[in-house]
Structure 1
Amino acid sequence: MGEVLKSGTVKQRAESVTLFWAIWRARNDLVWNQKSSTVNKIVASAKQSLTQWILAQNRSYNTLLQPQVKGDGVSYWVNPQLNTFKVSVDPAIFEDREEVGFGLVARDSDGRLIEPKAMIHSELVEPVLAETMGLKEALSWIEQMQWPQVTLESDCLVVVQAVRSSAPMRSHFGAFISECRNIMYRLNNVELLFVTRSVNMVAHHLTRESYALSGGRLDRWSISVSVTDCIEMDLSS
């Protein structure tokens, strides 16, 4: 590693330093939190962190971090246009069970609930990767349901802008971004928007409910009062 840091390319040095940092963080997790990690997870975390850092340093990407599409960055619920469905997605990381939950909700042009969905992924991942996986699940759901026109909302700006971008990303994060881009290209009927967390509370509550699913199925008749209350608050705002 010493030779790489001395005479390696800029890319090789960056990869080495990021890997050192990921190993150090895994060591601290083991010592202080009694949380062990695998080699694959440490390497994947290093690659993902480096990708995010490169994107953050890129000036052209920084300009993308400002709302660029009409409807980006809203802080209140907006009904979709007539004959358009709105799908919201949000992940939650359950560290005690080393799982990630996803909450998805589809609503019609009047803001009324069409279909809720919650699921569990049995592997612990970094937050931004969880956001990307959730977006991919939402797009796959839209494709499966064959809805005619959809507005898809996420409160993770980095992921939204990464999907909109055409920049290549050679990482685990980039692989999921590429899958999202491919599904959107196939569908050609999905508008992707960034919204604030306050607009995404219904999906957020559904995600929390996924914790108790254990492989079960959530439908519109089994959602909690907190979810229905959030929907009513959106409609009254």
Structure 2
Amino acid sequence: MDGSLFDNSKKEEHAEIVSLCWAIWNARNQFVWDNKKSSVDRVLTSMRQYLAEYSKAQDFFTQALYQFVEHRDGAQVWVRPKNSAVKITVDATIFAESSSYDIGMLARNDKREVICGRLESYPSNVRADFAEAMAVKEALSWCKLNKWHEIVLESDCLSVVQALRCSIAMRSPFVILLGSVERCSRR
């Protein structure tokens, strides 16, 4: 592609186009892998959610949260874990129109081979970061069930990663959930 699609459009339009493509791709995967059909409304709702998350990530005040960022954070390519480790990639998707969310987990070995995957749906209206934190919590429980002791956990939710790394005690449902994630990870 020569980039001509974006040559005459604005930055906001780029974000809308990319968000729509992502939502269509996600709907396609749900159809191919789970035989779930998505309505146009559901795809557009997903697009709006992705766009809102993107906009939030671009916000100037959000940039102040980068104090807990480490060297490999934000890697654009998959990074191989050490030989004996299992790498778990987690993600969550919010479906506002049905007041539900899905979490997905994928376990791979150091050869990039898929060991197994898991998808769960929850009938609850939650914030995106809370859904992502639930995905991390469920992934740790999944690791314990499968007796995987050496794991690398990968998430695309910066606020969850930073909250897990933060040593400041705070009180909110989100932070309390993350506290249970930390306790689960130590077992």
TM range, smaller chain:
0.5 to 0.7
CA RMSD of aligned residues (A): 1.7
Q: CA deviation at 1:62?
A: 4.8
Report the equivalent of 2:72: 71
Does 1:159 find its partner at 2:163? no
- Alignment partner, residue 127 of structure 1: 128
Instruction: Report the counterpart of residue 88 of structure 2 in structure 1.
Output: 87
CA contact (8 A) 2:133 2:177 kept: yes
Contact 2:95 2:101 in 1 (8 A): yes
Give the aligned partner of residue 100 of structure 2: 99
Matching residue's letter, 1:183? C
List alignment gaps of at least 5 residues for structure 2.
1-60
Corresponding residue for residue 148 of structure 2: 147
**CA distance change for structure 1 residues 112 and 62 in 2, over 3 Å: closer, same or farther?**
closer
Tell me, what secondary structure is at the counterpart of 2:98?
A: coil
CA distance in 2 between partners of 1:160 and 1:62 (Å): 11
TM-score by length of 2: 0.63
The alignment-based identity, stated in percent, is 33
Q: 1:131-177: per-residue Cα shift (whole Å, max 9, x none)?
A: 11111111111111111311000001111010111211211111111
Question: What's the TM-score once normalised by structure 1's chain length?
Answer: 0.50
Query: When the two structures are aligned, how many residues end up with a matched partner?
Result: 126
Structure 1 gap segments, 5+ residues each:
1-55, 187-237
* Matched position secondary structure for 2:116: strand
Query: What secondary structure, in the 3-state scheme, does the structure 2 residue paired with 1:96 have?
Result: helix
**Residues in 1 aligned to 2:101 and 2:107: alpha-carbon distance in whole angstroms:** 20
Higher relative contact order (CA 8 A, sep 6+): 1
